[in-house]
Structure formats: C-alpha cells, structure tokens
Structure 1
Amino acid sequence: MAMLTAPNQTVQADSGTTYTYRRFGRAGGTPVVFLQCFRGNIDIWDPALVDDIAAEREVILFDASGVGGSTGQVPTTVRDFARDAIAFIDALALTTVDLFGFSLGGFVAQSVVLQRPHLVRRLILAGTGPQGGRGFHAWSEETRGHAYREAQDAEDLLYLFFAPTEESRAKGMEYVGRIFTRQEDRDAPTTLAVRDAQAEAIVDWGIPSAALLDRLAAIQQPTLVANGNHDILVPTANSYLLAGHLPNAELIIYPNANHGFLFQYPHEFAGEVNRFLSAA
C-alpha cells in the first residue's frame, strides 16, 4: 500500500476529536508520525518522499483538530498543537514514535518532545526553526500575499516552496503533479479558519527571544535538521540555530532550494531520513 492508495481512517481521542489519518508502510519498527505545514492537509505530503520512507518503516499522516478531515477546534498556539498531536498518538495507543515535522509541524514536533520527552525516539526537523528564532515573526508583504491568499494555486506553492530558478520551479511543477495524482478519497481541504488559527500560532512562536533557545538543550533525542539554502518562510539561519543548540543533531542543507526542499529532493531526502532512522 502507498500514499495514493492508503484509505483515510479515523480514530476518536479522549478529547472528543475524531482524527483523520492514513497509516501504511512497513510495520514492525517505530512508526513515523508526520506533522504538516501551514494550511496543509494530508495530501500536501509528497508521495515520492513518503513512499520511499514507507518502504522501510510504517508512516502515519494525520490532520490536527479542525484541520482537513478532523473534527474539533483548531489550536491557536504551538503548545496546544503539540497537546493535540499527543492526544492523537495516545488515541492510537502508541507508546514510542519517531516524529517528522515540516515547517509549523517542526515547531509542533519540538513542543511534543518537550512536553512528552519519553514518547519520541528520534526527531526530523525540516524547514523549521526554534521558538524565538530569526526572521519568521513577520513575513514580507509579498510572502504574506502568497501564504494568506484565500484560494491558493500552483503559483503560490512555487513561490513559497521553491527557489526562483528554472530548475527548482520545474521540480516544483513535478511536485504539484504528484500531490494531485490521487483523485478519489482525497483529504478535505483546509479552511480560512485553519489558516488564521495556524497563523496566530506561527506569529507567537516566532517572536524573537534568544533566551528561548536554551529550551533546546532539553531535547536529547537524535535529531536530523534539514532545509533548503534559501528558505523564505522559516529562514535557513534557523536550521543552523537548531543544529547548534540541540545536543545531538546533524544538519543537511540542500542547494538551489527554498522551504520545500524536501519536495524538490524527495528521493534524496527520504534516503537521508531512512539512514538516520535506522542508525543504532
């Protein structure tokens, strides 16, 4: 089973939220729970990336409360998004997971580890940054125009996720084609209420504060930090901050790439993820 054929499933948590999720891949080891980006639902994930990872381990993609096909109220802080993720993981009766956090999902992944440190074995932080980091508290007017547009299209994704080069944009169009390959049983689209709640969480997390970087010392798990060399949403400097302050981190920076480097280099990054998750 692969991402394009895995059925949408549901599970109800003690909180009352009914979460929509897909679970597939090679079972038997520690499952990888994916935490997605601003305005993303399950179908934002690149099948080329996820299926390569699923060939070696079980993957779980899900919508937070109020996002996509999940019920409930959308959280408005990263801390509450993390509590929400923990509620979903608990509903599946999982006691140990690996976390793959992209963008906002990377903020959430850090908060999950800080709130429930013994739940997480290994951590992947892609295109993301620490609380109190640099340059993402207030996006530029042009970036906001693309990120907040009521009805986003391929051009918005290309601007936000890919570098303004012919090669990167071509890879971006391939990504757009892959994420729209699935026609049946797609996830529900995200709403403007989701956009606004998540934007509130991002702005709060992004208030600059060097003192908050000290929190990263509490994350002892092996961590893979990765980004493109020109991330305009969570500037690449934040990946260096993460790698420098996390006690057990490695860093990979991809060339000619923006926030969506993991969709520009899906097979290459999946290979790094599998290598990292399989390490002793």
Structure 2
Amino acid sequence: MYSSLLYMHLGKGVIMRVVRQFIIIALIFSVLSGCETKKIEYARNANVITIKNQSKMAAETSTFLLKREESKLTLKSANNNVQIELPSKESEIKSVQLSYDQKYAAMDIWDKKGLSVYVVNLQSGETLNLIEKIGDEDNYMGYEPPFGIAWSPNENIITMIGGYPESARVYMYHLEMVEWKQYYTASLIYENIYGVKWGQDGQKLYYLVDSLENKSEKTVNSTEIEVDHTLIGGTIEEYELSNEEIMNDWLDTEREYR
C-alpha cells in the first residue's frame, strides 16, 4: 500500500510538472505571437505632396507653394523663394517633402536619364543632387511615390531608394554631418524595394521588399540607425506581416495627390 501511495504521489508530481511545462510553453508562444503581430509605429510627415498629374503646375501645403514652368521649379516659403533648374522639360516630379524643421525640401524626379533626388536648403537656396553626392547614377523606379524618400522625424537625415532594376537598396545622407563620418548605404541589395519609412523615434528605417521565401508576398525589413559620431546602418531585422497590414500601412495611407 505504501508503494502504491508513493507511486500515486510521484505520478501526481510528474503530471503537475508536465502541466506547468505546458503552461510555460503556452505563455512563450503567446509572447512570441504578440511580438509578431505588434504594429510598427511609423513617423508621419505632414508636409508631403505626391504629384499624380504632371500637367498641374502648382501645388501647396500650409508651409510652402510649389510652382513649375517647363524646366524651372519655384519653391515659395515664408522665408524665401528658391528657383531650381530641373534636368529637362520632360522631368516628372513624383513627390516633395519637407524636413522635420522645415529647413530643407526634398523631391524625387524621374526622366529618361533615370532618378534624381534634389535636396534644397530653403534658407540659402543651395541645391544638392543627392544621387551625384552619393556617387551613383541610379535608375531604379520600382518604388511607390511618395515612399521613395523620407526624412528623419528628429534630425536632418534623408533616406532614399536607389540602385538599378533588380538590385535596389536604401541610402541615407545627413545634411549636417561631415562627409567622412557618413556611410551612405543603409540596407542590403534587394530585387525590389517599394518604400522606405522611419520609426517614430528616428532610430530605425523600415522598408518594404519582396519576400525572399515567396516572391508573391512582401515583408518589412528594418535597419537600426547608429549615430554615434558616425552615420551607419546597424542591425537588420525582418518582420512577418500580413499583406493586408502592409497595404494598410504603406500603400493606402498618407497618399495625397495634387
């Protein structure tokens, strides 16, 4: 009888341990599931114009007016009027975006020569062709405007999608950092990159790419930004999101055609 009671006691102990293990495993899966479905908080830029109709030569936000006459573009703000010479009369401006402090404006321009990204100092009128500055002649146009360029929410760092067909990547450039402290590339090379955004805290870049496992699906990857006397892309992570989440967060929101 004693041996039977001991067996029953040990049996109950084993059962309790198994139950506890199942509970722990269930909690782990619950935590992991919560991480996988956690919504990414993207930075929002209120000063973005996406231009769908190239024949419409004027557009404005609450802070600046954009007016075009053939190959000349005028940006009018409260502080200054800046005139820019576009690459050609056929150049198509896809979007115009202001930096967080409204000191700079950036625009991505497409024409038969490829992609140009102009950054304009709205106070001095100085214009920078970011493609030439980085030292590359890109003609990748596979992204969705206005998601081909993006400003950091708290620094004058601009990111852009560049490269060539089937070999696109994300670049970044800090307008107020010396050249030798910057590394321009911020991602690996992907067959397609459809858009780039910043996280709300300005510490990460997020970009939409084709899934490496299934070309019919898309994933969001991120690059951690390290700004410790040097601008350089850090840890890369991949987020498994449903196509519905991706469409809602990337391609169906923040569009404003003018």
TM-score, scaled relative to structure 2 = 0.28
* Structure with greater strand percent: 2
Greater per-residue helix proportion: 1
* Higher RCO structure (Cα 8 Å, ≥6 apart): 1
Output the TM-score relative to the length of structure 1: 0.27
